[in-house]
Structure formats: structure tokens, C-alpha cells
Structure 1
């Protein structure tokens, strides 16, 4: 029997529950500060994501194993993997409630409250990834859970834009969530945030029109998600008072910014091929950056196997595969997020890797339009007439 190999067709099976450490970090600060007297632990979220995970990625290394084709159905139907994402939500919301209580009191300094807001923001950003996994499913329960997971970050339009916008236009100049070569993170963030919001509104308006529904309808996915945020924030404000509002807003902004920074990393400079008729070719593994760093993959439910996710969006996270065709990042997402904060360092590391992916032909890349001639000239190319 196949199970005799290791008790499971997935050698990482029992590691996936470690993904709950991320939302649990919102429950830890008060206890860590109480027992260590170190107030730096109010900032445990950024510490884990930006320092601890990158270090562990380098120490633990890569995992390039793929699930066997014959195990696909078994893994897909195993509800254990679903519960690993389901459990993210109650832990995430519990942390937010505890944080709101602390923000409402006078026991913490403003700096400590900001640290706690940053921790909740990082949890919120990782929570969007849990929403991302759930939002791709066809089951109604999981799609509703996806919207609930997005409530903390007030980023409900992501449910529509990611599935119907980003996946259709990924790795093309038309996609606001696909970063361009020569575009810094700080240029990308407003373009992606604003462009994604506009796209979601347009996509949902057209969907509702096709189905004969008005914008202000119970069938509107965006309004459903926003209503969940309104209920969540409204309840917290009613219980704990308006003084928590700045911290609620801050953690939501940080969560959304973390998501968009990951978007920046995932498709930087990559461009899909053109068909003979001028249309874009189907998305393939070569159109997303991958990383097989084990630790980050566990924390992000295999998000780093992004190439297979875009080529086969119906695959659940436990069945995603790494591919030799996919371009590989030099480190895990957690490390790459840090590098992206410093554009000159990012370009030094990533531009040569992008050029290598296209066998030296930089004209195949998705280039920032206002920098196109300069970049082509730098690599001894001429812009097309």
C-alpha cells in the first residue's frame, strides 16, 4: 500500500499545522512581555516574518519533493488539509479581539500599541493568504470563509480581483498586480492597490449586470466582504471605543501592504508569450517566481509554488508542485520581502536573474514603460520602431 512509505503520501503532512504559528503570534505578545520583561515582543509579528523565518529558511533549506500523480485525488480529498486553513480564522480573530482590548486600555504605551498593531497587521496579511487558498475553491463554505478571513484587512475586493482579474491577466502589462522590470516596490504599491480596486469594481459590476442584479444587491461579492469588515470593526468599536480605531486602521493597512509586497515578488518582470494571433498565451509555470524554501512554504501554505498555482489554480495547496520550467527566487518570500524594501539592492539581485530566465533577451520581459528605452539600451537592445 502507498501509505506504508511514510504513513502518508505527503511527507510534510504534519508540518502544515505549524502554519497556525502565524496567527498565534497575535496571542503571544502579552505573555512574552510578562515573562521576559522585554517590550520588543509587542513587535513579535514583524520579528517572526522579517527575521526568524528568513533565518530558518537558510538553515533548513529547500524541499523540492513533489506529490505523486497517483496520490493527487487522495490528497485533494483529505479534509485534514482544509482544517489547517479553517483553524486559521478563529485564531486570527481571537488575536484581534485581544489586541483591541489592549489598545483600549492605558497599560501600554503608544509605542507598544503600535508594535501590537504591526503584529496584527502581519497576521492580517498572512490571513489574506489563507483567504487566497479558500477563495479558489468551489465549495460555498470555503468561499464564505475566504471573505471572513479578508474582513480584518478590509481588503474584501481581493476576493473578486484575484480570482477574476489577476488570474486572467497575470504576467501581462494589463495586470496591476504584476510588477514590471525597473519598477520599484514603492512605485508598484499605489499602482497595484488602486488598479486592483478599480478592476474588482468593474469585474463585479459586469458580473452582476449579466445575472440581472443591481450593484446594491445581496449577490454582490464585494459588498458582502465589506459588510463583514463593517460588522467586525463596528462591533469592536462599540465594545472598546473609538480610541482603538487608529490601530485597527493601521493593522489593516499593514496587512494589505504585505499582500501587495508579496504580489510584487511573485511576478516581477515576467511576461507571458504572445500567440500568433497577438493574444496572450495561457499562463505557464515560467510566468511566476518560485521558491522551495521549506519554512516559508509551510507558513504560507505552499504559496511559493506559485507557478503551478497559476498554471493550475484548481489545485489545493498540498498538491502543488515545483517545476524546473519555473524561474527560481534566490531566497524565500520572507527574505525577498525585506530585499524589496530597498530597490537598488532588489535590482542588483533580481534583474540579472530575470535576464538569465529569458536567455539574455531582456526584450521578452515585462518592462516599466517609462524606463523601457533605458533598460533596452543598457542591455544593448533597441526599442521596436
Structure 2
């Protein structure tokens, strides 16, 4: 295991304090963002009435898009402003930090706010009288789509909350993980990520590891459908091993999907079928955010095979990291991805940043936007992959069918 970025003496370890301890509560901003948006819309509309400035009320609907604003604007700016974290927990305090229940309560708290926000969004999509907000009638289509994307952003970040909980051995946390995934109908992630991705990460066989030369838009369907297929096969194999039929209540793919059916069915029964297009929009946007993060976490990285044809153990060299503090707070240290793959059950507060892990130029929030634009992404990232492999691109995880073209292109550029 590589050494962390910061080494503490025993005396320093005793005096060490998690400077982010209380900042972890900021992770509750995404599941409460729709309520923040509602308050801002009401405030702008009332200010418009009081001051007689109609332009203020014209601007107020922008706040329904608070989720995309947070991801694509605010977090990238904050990552640049506050920069990397630079603090690692000392080895001597790992056990104590792991046992501190405050940190797990921070993740638990996400779930009730998430569910209440989904219900409130359904109300906003169907309400015909929002005069208490200063809105004539109900929301317009643009505002409803903004609400859907904001709820989807919460669901996408919620998948990361489910990721944190799903890796744990506590049965309650595993079930909470499935509940969190119900909103985006992505319950199979619970299976595929833990038993598929973590086994095959940074190999051509892993649908969730992007390849050098592969665009995000090619990766997205490959990962979505490949992960779904893998999750089902993994559970079918487990059911066979237990001598149970594949369609059995203990099938974790099925029982996770049932949670989504129950949630979506209950919301439809209460608010009507009109919510379904917006529920679908938020789900697709939510899991696409997850897949964007998957895309940037292992782009072009590949584990070597040994003489017996087996892949080497996953090391810090096989994940792209970022230690930018703001996005890390919102994603429970997901950006310290190398340590996560080395220690999957380790709780987020104890994850460390490594000097020798390949690093992204900014936080995940900034890189998500770059991933949408392949020419910009490749301009930023391809040179980093090449440098990581000391110019030997044959060691990278190359897009199948493009190997010769990619090798020729970069050999020519280096000549």
C-alpha cells in the first residue's frame, strides 16, 4: 500500500482532528435543495411585488433548476476557490474514527429528506394553485423540467449515498442502500457495483470502466446495459448456488426493483399519471450522473495480467483521484477512489488520498461537464493517461477496434 500524502507522528496523531467533521452535514444540501429553491422562488416573487420590478419575478423560475446549478456551476467554482483538502487521518486513529457513529448518521439523514423531496416534487408537478409561492396557477413546463432535473441531481448524489451504505456489512445499511436507489430505479447497482465492478475494475471486462478513446456517449449505454446484465447474471448464479429459483424474494436485484415499483406506484396513485414523465426524467438524469462519474473514475486505466493470466490486485494506480475538498464533502470522499477500491468496506471518513495515484486536474463536478464534450475531455485527459504510462499507450485500456488508430495517432504526435 502506498503512503498517504501526509504522515503524522504519534504526538500529532493524538492531537489530530477531522477539520471536515461538521462540514459533512453540508451533504444534506442536495436532498433539501428543492425546498431551498422553493424559498428563493417565493422570496423573488414577493420582492418583485414589493418593489414593482417585474424582472425579478421573471428570473425566479431559474431556481427550480437548482440541482444542475449546484453541479455544473457552484461546485466547480468552490473546488477552484478552496482547492485540495490535504488532510489524511493518521493510522493510529483509524479504528476510533471508523467507530464514530456521527459519520454514519450523516448518511442516514440523507434518506428521509430525499423521500420527502420526491413527494414534494410530485406536488409541484401536479398543483394547479401555487399562489402561496406568487405563481399564477401551476408551474410551466420549463419549471417542471427544472424540478425534475433538480430531483434527479438529488437522486444521482443519492446513488453515491447508497454506494457508501451498500459496501457495509451492517444489514440495516444494506437495506437503506436499496431504499436510496429506489428513486432512480437503479437498485441493481447494489449488486453490480459490489460484486461486479470491484472485481473487474480497470479491465476490459468491466462495463463501468471507461476505455481510452471511448467517448462518454458511447460509454453510457455500454455501462447502463452492461451493468444491468452483469447484476442479473450475478444474482442468477447466487440463486442457483442456493438452490433457489431466480425469481425468488431473496434475489437482491428483484427486491430492489420492487422497492422502486412500490415507490413509483404509490406516487402515481396519490398524484396521478401526470407525474410519470417527470419521474422518468429525474431517474434517467440521476443514473446518468452516476455513469458520468463512473466514466471519469477509471478512464484508460488497466490492470496488468500475470503469467497465469490473472489480473494483478487493484492498486492506487488504477483509479483517477481528486482531493478537492468541496466535491468530496458532497460525495463522502468518493474522489479518494484509490483507497476505496483497496478497502471497499472502509467508511468514508477514514479514506485517504495517495501521492502516487493518478490525479484529475479538478474535482468530479468540473470533470462531469468536460465528459459531455469528447474533444475537450480528450484534450485534457488523454495526455494524462499517456504520461501515467510513461508514453507506452499499449499498457492502457484501449477502446476495442480503435487500438491501431490510437497507437498510430499518439506515436505520430510523439515523433
Q: Which TM class, normalised by the smaller chain length?
A: over 0.9
Matched, 1:147 2:216: no
CA RMSD of aligned residues (A): 1.2
Matched, 1:157 2:194: no
Equivalence for 1:349: 380
**2 CA distance for matches of 1:275 and 1:75?**
36
Equivalence for 2:122: 100
Moved more, 268-277 or 120-129: 268-277
CA deviation after TM superposition for structure 1 residue 4, in Å = 6.8
Equivalence for 2:26: 18
Matched, 1:380 2:390: no
Give the TM-score, by structure 2 length. 0.90
What is the DSSP-based 3-state SS (H/G/I as helix, E as strand, rest coil) of the residue aligned with 1:379? helix
CA deviation after TM superposition for structure 1 residue 214, in Å = 1.3
1:226-305 alignment runs, 5 A limit: 226-305=257-336
**2 CA distance for matches of 1:4 and 1:241?**
57
CA deviation after TM superposition for structure 1 residue 13, in Å = 1.0
* 1:216-275 residue CA offsets vs partner (Å, 9 max, x unmatched): 212110111111101111111000000011001110000010000000010100001221
CA deviation after TM superposition for structure 1 residue 3, in Å = 8.6
What is the DSSP-based 3-state SS (H/G/I as helix, E as strand, rest coil) of the residue aligned with 2:35? coil
Matched, 1:46 2:68: yes
Equivalence for 1:75: 97
What is the DSSP-based 3-state SS (H/G/I as helix, E as strand, rest coil) of the residue aligned with 1:22? helix
Moved more, 20-29 or 133-142: 20-29
**2 CA distance for matches of 1:206 and 1:221?**
12
What is the DSSP-based 3-state SS (H/G/I as helix, E as strand, rest coil) of the residue aligned with 1:276? coil
Is the 2:13–2:92 contact (alpha carbons within 8 Å) kept by the matching residues of 1? no
Is the 1:285–1:323 contact (alpha carbons within 8 Å) kept by the matching residues of 2? yes
Matched, 1:55 2:77: yes
Equivalence for 1:118: 149
Equivalence for 2:204: 173
What is the DSSP-based 3-state SS (H/G/I as helix, E as strand, rest coil) of the residue aligned with 1:369? coil
Equivalence for 1:192: 223
Equivalence for 1:339: 370
Is the 1:156–1:226 contact (alpha carbons within 8 Å) kept by the matching residues of 2? yes
**1 CA distance for matches of 2:65 and 2:19?**
33
Task: Name which of 28, 31, 37 aligns with 2:39.
Answer: 31
Is the 2:303–2:314 contact (alpha carbons within 8 Å) kept by the matching residues of 1? yes
Is the 1:125–1:259 contact (alpha carbons within 8 Å) kept by the matching residues of 2? yes
Is the 1:26–1:96 contact (alpha carbons within 8 Å) kept by the matching residues of 2? no
Equivalence for 1:64: 86
Is the 1:261–1:337 contact (alpha carbons within 8 Å) kept by the matching residues of 2? yes
Is the 1:46–1:119 contact (alpha carbons within 8 Å) kept by the matching residues of 2? yes
* 1:172-228 residue CA offsets vs partner (Å, 9 max, x unmatched): 000000000000000000000010000000000001111122112121101111111
CA deviation after TM superposition for structure 1 residue 51, in Å = 0.3
Q: Which runs of 5+ in 1 are unaligned?
A: none
**1 CA distance for matches of 2:212 and 2:107?**
34
Moved over 6 A (4+): 1-4
**2 CA distance for matches of 1:148 and 1:117?**
19
CA deviation after TM superposition for structure 1 residue 28, in Å = 1.9
